Structures are given as C-alpha cells and as structure tokens.
Chains A and B, each alone.
Chain A
Amino acid sequence: MKIRYWGVRGSFAMCGKEFLRYGGNTTSVELVTAAGARLLVDLGTGATEYAKTLMAGEFGQGKGTLTVLLSHTHLDHIQGLPFFTPFFIKGNQFRILGADPAGSSLKGTLQNQLAPHYSPLNGLENLAAGVSIESFLPGSELTIDEFEVTTAAVPHGTMWTTGFRIKADDRVVTFLSDVEYPAPHRPTREAFALAAGADLLVHDAMHDDAAYAMARGWGHSPVSAGVHLAGAAGVGKLVLFHHSPDATDAQIDKLVEAAQARTSIPVSAAAEGAYHEV
C-alpha cells in the first residue's frame, strides 16, 4: 500500500516561500493498493491538487469512482469540496463517508457549506457527478474495495473527530489528525487500539511542545503526543501531520529533528506531493 500526501497543513491554507517544501494546502491523503484500488481521506484544499491528476484519467471522461473518508467537517478538512473538479463531470461516482457532527448530519453540514450565500454551486444537488453522502457511527468497521477500515471517535477540543485504521495489502496505516488526548502521554484507549502495531502512523503534530502549553484545550496535539503513542503502540513509522499554519519549512525540519532525538522509530513530516511505500 502506498500513502500519498496531497495536503498536510492544519487549520488554514498557507501561501508563500516559507511553506514550499512541506506545502501549504490543508489536509487530504490518498491511499493506493498494489492492485490500484484508491481511497481518499479528507477534502481539504490539497484535494484540489489530487483532482488534477484524477481529471487526467478516467474521471476526466466521467468514468471514475472513488470513496472519500472524512475525519470531521471542520473547514480545513472539507474546503476543497467545492473545487474538486471530478464532482462537476457527469458519470463519475463518489461516496463520501463520515460521522454525523453532534446535533447535525453529515449531509446537512456539507449542504450548508454549499448553501447559496456561501457558494455559487447552490447545493449538493448541482454537482453533476453522482455523490452519495453516507454517515457511519464511529466504531464501525467499513469495507471499501480492498480496504478494511476501523473507525473510532477521538477527542478534539470540545468535540471529537474520527480516527481511522486502514488495512490493505496486509499493511496498516493509522490516521489520527485533529486529536488532543487528556494529556500528551495519555492517548485514549480508542486511539491506542487504532494505532496498535500499525506500519505507519499519521498523527496530529500542530504544536511544538513549548507552544502547546498555550494551546491546551484547542483540540490539537503537541509533537510529543504522536511520539509517545508511536512508541507505546509499537508502530513502524511516525509521520507528523496537520502542521501549524505558522510553522515554516525550517521550523518543521526542527520539529522532526527534535522528535527523532526521542525515539528510535523513524519520524518524518508529511510533505505535499510526497508518498510512503508502506
């Protein structure tokens, strides 16, 4: 299985020279099996770059099918939706799977994103492709083509997000973005179970440990939370993700260095356009 990072930035898309190497687009990650089955996680602005590669193939002719998992509906994880060009081609088929936000529905939330005040698309019904929006309960097991996905709710400030354990080609990738544990060294049982023995762990690393003191309760992890979980859960590789909008390339280099000094597990920071062979 291959994992490719199309958007790695948290909260806010960042433009400019200081963000070129790791990239300024918000979250979107693609998984591809050896046989070519694909799965996309999140629809941040990075998804619009991914869309360009899809349009060059069968999606450009209206013959593509794809499933998208959403961790949650904070804007940085869905703001690529109105600009995801394969949605505008008749014949393409999409499933968007995610949990219902508290007190609301997944479909209602995405519909609201495209409400006429906010978007000239004026609602999901105006997307030319077939887009089916399906809610699941966190904790569900999903089978999507060759992917077996375990889902679980993990804490994210005053709300929660869905973490994913994705298995294919006999390999496991765990995706834990937008998560804040009761303490950096106390992952929740659900998060631990998702990460246990994973070959690769993609983890929220929004704050460096010093900045975290000021940001406690905002719903994101310091780098040390991922480092700790990776060690405790025995993962093969740790990938720092959801980089702070203020973190320049040089600062992210330093975060990786500092994290690597504290663990023997290989640590890297997700970079736009890069991939890992799992």
Chain B
Amino acid sequence: MPGRATVRYGGQTSCVEVRTSAGTTVIVDAGTGLRALGQKLARDSGGAARRHHILLSHVHWDHIQGLPFFEPAYSSGNTVEVYALLTAADELQQVIGGITRHEFFPVPLEAIPAEINFHEVDPGVVMTIEDVTILPFALNHPFGAVGYRLDADGTSVAYVSDTAPFTDVLHKQHFLSGPEPLSDEDRRVLAEMRGALVAAVRGCDTVIYDTHFLPEEYARFPHYGHSTPDQALEIVAGNDVRRLILYHHAPSHTDDQMDEIAARYKEQGAAVGVDVITACEGMSLAVGPRGPA
C-alpha cells in the first residue's frame, strides 16, 4: 500500500527477519518487504557467499511476491533454502517457479544464479536451521497455511499468519463464498488445530499474529482467513506469552487508524497481562532476556 496513509506503519507485505546472537538469519515470509531485506543482506555479506533460509507461511501473492526481487538470489555462490507447506517439494518448485514464468516476470527460476532448494514443511515435525529449532503448525486459512515457533538463544518467538479463528473451516482446498456448515469431523479438526497452536505458542516470549481485522470487519468477512486482535489475545492470554505483535494490517487501515488500534489493544492486552505492540516496518525488537538487541 504505497502512499501518504501508510508512511509510518509501512505499506509492504509480510516479511520478518529473525536473527540469533550467533548471527543465523531466518526469514519468515517473502512479501514485498523482502526486497529491502535482500538489499540489506547483500550489503552485509560484503560479497561473500551466503546461505539464506526463507520459511513461507503459504504461497498467496502477498507472502511470495518479494521472492523474484531478493537480491542475494542474483549472485552465484549464494544458496536460498525455501521452506513451505505443500504436498511435495517438486510441486513447491512448480508453484514458486510459476511466479517467475515469463508471462509474469522476466527472469525464469532456471536462470537465477543462486542455488535454490525447496523443502516441504510438515506441521508438527520439528526442523533445525543452524542454532534455530523450528516447530511448524497448521493454521486455518484458505488452501492451508502454516505458522512457526522458532527457538534459539534460550528464548522463542512464534509467527502466526495467516489464520482465521477456529470457528469456521477455511483450510480446505476449494473456493469459499462464505462460511460453510460444520460437520462433527470439521469441529474435531478445528479443535485439534487450535489445540496445537495454543501448545506451540505456550511460553513464547513474543508471538506475531495475523490481526488483519477489527471485530466489526471480521463479522463481515469471517471466510477471508484472518483474525482480530481480540482473537489473538484469546490464544495468548494465560498461555505464558509475554508479548503479542499485531501484524498483517489490513490494506485499508491508515496510519491514524493503526494508532487507534495500537492504543486500544495496548490497554486490552495489559488487562490480561500481555504487552501488545503493533508492528511497523523497520521495527526491530529484542526477543527474550538473552536475545540480541
């Protein structure tokens, strides 16, 4: 969202950098924010070959469209490891490769100089990247999405985007023009998903959560696959989480509205013992008592 209304909170789509004290960098999501991050990483590397790790929550455009503009991918010698939830790594390659088909982008995947490897993520199955332990968990979003808990430096941060609350089935692989009636099996699957999410974020220092909607907006679009800050608070409150980061702001929310949202939920969070912070572009936070500044 370019323009005057998003100058302070930022208009780029989803992208977060997690850095450990040992210097390991794990990128979560590859929205348009990845372009500036890639420029920074390329500068920081001073030309040395690097291995970059990108965890994708899912492959909707707002979470991948920065990939073709990731500068380190244009230096041979670099490696880019891409992790995502899909049924097979070759399908993943096709889907990610699909965004650089010549119809869409001038440089095809095969012509990108860096080595690019695709890894399939399995909810519940722990992965390790250098000194970071990663637990993926399933989320309730059209066509499926996955959140991640990252543990390193004796602390943890969770990334929970994109997801709706667990009251309607959105994660199936078909178009929804509105919420659909629930079967008993649907209820069981949703309860299980919610349970796994609550367990995954338990004890996290910081939880970054899809809080796209205000409650009145959510009521109109419950099938879009996004949550409200209230729903995020419901997941983290009483779950030993120190801090909640409001994230994935609606494109229609202006900086002034975001100020109001930030103030309103700061207060609501404080009432349940959670420090609520509203993400803005360029913001950098120390995670946990031993996290890097």
What residues make up the interface of A, taking CB atoms closer than 8 Å to B?
A: 9, 11-17, 19-20, 23-25, 45, 73-75, 79, 82-83, 101-104, 109, 112-113, 115-123, 126, 157-159, 218-219, 245, 272
Contacts and interface: CB of A to CB of B under 8 A. Distances in A.
A117 B95 contact: yes
B61 A20 contact: no
Given A75-B65, A121-B175, A113 B104 contact: yes
B59 A15 contact: no
A9 B11 CA distance: 15
Contacts of B35: 12, 245
A23 B143 contact: no
B143 A79 contact: no
11 contacts: A24-B2, A73-B103, A74-B105, A74-B106, A75-B105, A117-B143, A122-B175, A123-B175, A157-B106, A159-B102, A272-B3
B60 A118 contact: yes
Nearest to B84: A117
A15 B104 CA distance: 21
Contacts of A104: 101, 103
A218 B111 CA distance: 13
Contacts of B176: 120
Contacts of A118: 59-61, 64, 95, 98-99
Interface in B172-211: 173-177
B62 to A, nearest CB: 10
Nearest to B141: A120
A23 B99 CA distance: 25
Interface in B1-57: 1-4, 6-7, 10-12, 32, 35
B32 A12 contact: yes
Contacts of A24: 2-3, 11
Nearest to B111: A158
B69 interface: yes
Interface string B80-102: 00000000000000010011011
A117 B7 contact: no
B229 interface: no
Given A25-B2, A157-B106, 12 more contacts: A15-B281, A20-B7, A23-B2, A25-B3, A74-B104, A75-B99, A75-B104, A104-B101, A109-B103, A113-B104, A118-B95, A120-B60
B142 interface: yes
B102 A14 contact: no
A12 B2 CA distance: 11
A108 to B, nearest CB: 9
B265 interface: no
Given A15-B2, A16-B7, A116 B102 contact: no
B241 to A, nearest CB: 28
B224 A17 contact: no
Contact of A120 (B2, B11, B95, B143): B143
Contacts of B142: 116, 120, 122
Contacts of B136: none
Interface in B103-122: 103-106
B106 A159 contact: yes
Contacts of B59: 117-118
A20 B5 CA distance: 10
Nearest to B4: A20
A12 to B, nearest CB: 6
Nearest to A19: B2
Contact of B2 (A45, A83, A102, A159): A45
A17 to B, nearest CB: 5
Contacts of A23: 2-3
B225 interface: yes
- The residue in B2, B6, B177, B225 that gathers the most chain A C-beta atoms within 10 A of its C-beta is B2
Contacts of A126: 175, 177
A45 B1 CA distance: 8
A217 to B, nearest CB: 10
Contacts of A117: 59-60, 95, 98, 143
